[in-house]
Amino acid sequence: MDRTLIKDLKKSIGSQVKICGFIHAIRDQGGIKFLQLRDGSGIVQIVILKSEKEVFDAVKDLSLESVLEIHGLAKEEKQAPGGFEVQAMEMCILSAAQPELPIPVVEEKGGEETEMTKRLDWRWLDLRKPSKSNIFPVWTALEEGFREYFLKSGFTQVYSPSLMNTASETGSDVFEVKYFERKAYLAQSPQFYKQMAMAAGIEKVFMVGPVFRAEPSFTTRHLTEFTGWDFEASYINDHFDVMSMEEDMLIAGFKNVKEKTGIDIEVPSKPFPKITLKEAKKLLAEKGLRSEKAHDLSPEEERTLSEIIKEKDNSDFVFVTDYPIEARPFYHMRHEDNPGLTKSFDLIYKGVEVTTGAQREHRLDLLKAQAVEKGMDIATLEDYMNFFRYGCPPHGGAGIGPARIIMRLLELPTVKEATFLPRDVKRLTP
C-alpha cells in the first residue's frame, strides 16, 4: 500500500490507509488510546481500540517523536482535530526516540520557548515544531517565483566560485583560508564574476550561492555565511532599470508564495516608493531622529523610515537611492553632475535592508581611479580590471539577502530562524 500524506486523508475517508510520521502526543484513557501523528503536511489523531490488542499493548512502550508506520481506517470524527481520524489496525515502529528529549518539540501553552542557543544546538528537533513548518516551503516558493521571473526575462544562471585569490568588495571582513602553498579568500559576494559575465557577453545573469562575511556582528540580521541571490544585466540606462527588474522579481516571488503556500501575505505593487538618502535623512530629522551615520542609515533609521513610508505610501518596501561615495564600493558608478553620489540603492523591507544594488562603472580609467581613491591595491585587482580592457557593456545589478526577506515576511525574531543551519561568530555546529 502506498503512503498517504496526512493532508490528503480527507480524500480517503472510509478506506484503508498507510500513514507515517512522528509521534506528536500520546493520550491513554484506559480502554482507548490516542496518538497524534505528525508528518510534513499536518497532524492527525490516531485512535487505538482495546480490540486491536497487539497495537494497544505496544502503545505503553512508545515515546514522543518516535517514527511510526500506521495502517488503519480513515474515518470522519467531528470531535477530532480536522474532523477525521485514523483507527489503527497495525503499527510498526520505524525508529524509536529516546524518552528524554533535549528540547521539547511541543512547547507548553503559555510557557516560554527554549532559549535560542540551545534550540540551535538541536536544530533538527527545533525544526520539527509545526510553528516552524512553513519557513522553508516559503523559501522554496519565493525562489521559484524569482526563477520564473528570471527565466521568462531572458536571464541565464551562472555559478561562481567561493574561493578567490583576492578579497572582494572593500577588502575588509574576509575569511582567509590556506590554499595549498598560498592564501585564498572566501567570497564576500559574486560581484566580480557577475561583471565578468557582462564582459563575456552573457547579457543577463543570476546566481544563487553562499556568501561569507567575517564581520564580528551579533545582531538579529547578521550571519557569517548566508545564501545570496544576485543578478546583473547589460545595456541598462541607469540604476532605476535595476530597481524595476527587482520590483518585477519580488512581485513574482510574493505571488508564488501566496499561491503555493496559502499564506495570506500582501503582494507588493509596482512601482515601489523611492527616496534619496538625503531626502530620507530629512524625513527622519523631522521625526527627531539623527544618526551618527552621515552616509548610511542605522537600523533604527531603517525601521523609522519604513514606518513613515508605510503611513505615507502604504508600502512595505522602499528604495533608498543616491548614497555618497564614502558608503559605497569603488565599482559603483557616480553621477556625472554630482560625482560625490553614486548611482546606487538599498531596498528596505519592513524596516530591514534586504538588497544593495547599483549601476556599475564599466569604463576602465574611471574604475581604476575610483579604486585608487578607495585605497585599493590595483595590483591585486589586475584580473578584475582585465574584464574591462576589451570592451564591456554598461551594466548594473543587485545582491539580495533572502533570509532577511523571509525573516520579515514571516515576522521571525532573527535571521537565524530563517536559516536552515545558521553560522555566526560563535557557531560552527551542527
Q: Tell me how far CA of residue 352 lies from CA of 130, 224, 305, 329, in angstroms.
A: 26, 17, 10, 20
d(CA 141, CA 261) in angstroms, rounded, equals 7
* 221 annotated as ligand-binding: yes
Is the model's pLDDT at 170 over the cut of 60?
A: no
Q: What is the pLDDT of the chain when averaged over all its residues?
A: 95
List pLDDT tens digits, range 196-244. 999 999 999 999 999 999 989 899 999 999 999 999 999 999 999 999 9
Task: Tell me: is residue 353 an annotated ligand-binding position.
Answer: yes
347 assigned binding-site residue: no
pLDDT confidence band for 86 (50 / 70 / 90): very high
Residue type, 331: Y
214 is in an annotated binding site: yes
Give the confidence band of 334 by pLDDT, cuts at 50, 70, 90: very high
Per-residue cell: 55: 497495537
DSSP per position, 336-354 = TTEEEEESEEEEEETTEEE
Alpha-carbon separation of residue 422 from 119, 305, 350 (angstroms):
12, 28, 22
Percent with pLDDT over 90 in the chain:
91
pLDDT of residue 112: 82
Domain extent listing, the chain: 6-100, 135-418
Domain 135-418 has CATH 3.30.300.30: no
402 carries a ligand binding annotation: yes
Determine whether the annotation assigns residue 403 to a binding site.
Answer: yes
Count CA atoms within 13 Å of residue 33 on its CB side: 21
pLDDT of residue 191: 94
Do the annotations mark residue 404 as ligand-binding? Answer: yes
How many angstroms separate the CA atoms of 357 and 399, rounded?
6
pTM of the predicted structure, to 2 decimals: 0.94
Question: Above 70 in pLDDT, residue 355?
Answer: yes
Phi, psi of 415 (to 5 degrees): -65, -20
Residue 132 burial (CB count, 10 A): 16
pLDDT for the residue numbered 317: 98
Q: What is the pLDDT of residue 364?
A: 98
Task: Flag whether 357 is marked binding.
Answer: no
* Cell, residue 402: 533572502
Average pLDDT over residues 187-192: 93
State the pLDDT at residue 109.
78
Is 117 marked as a binding-site residue?
no
> What cell numbers appear for 378 in the block?
590595483
Q: Is 401 annotated as a binding residue?
A: yes
3 state DSSP class of 48: strand
Helices (H), 90-190: 116-121, 123-126, 135-152
Q: What dotted CATH number matches 6-100?
A: 2.40.50.140
> Quick one: pLDDT at residue 107?
82
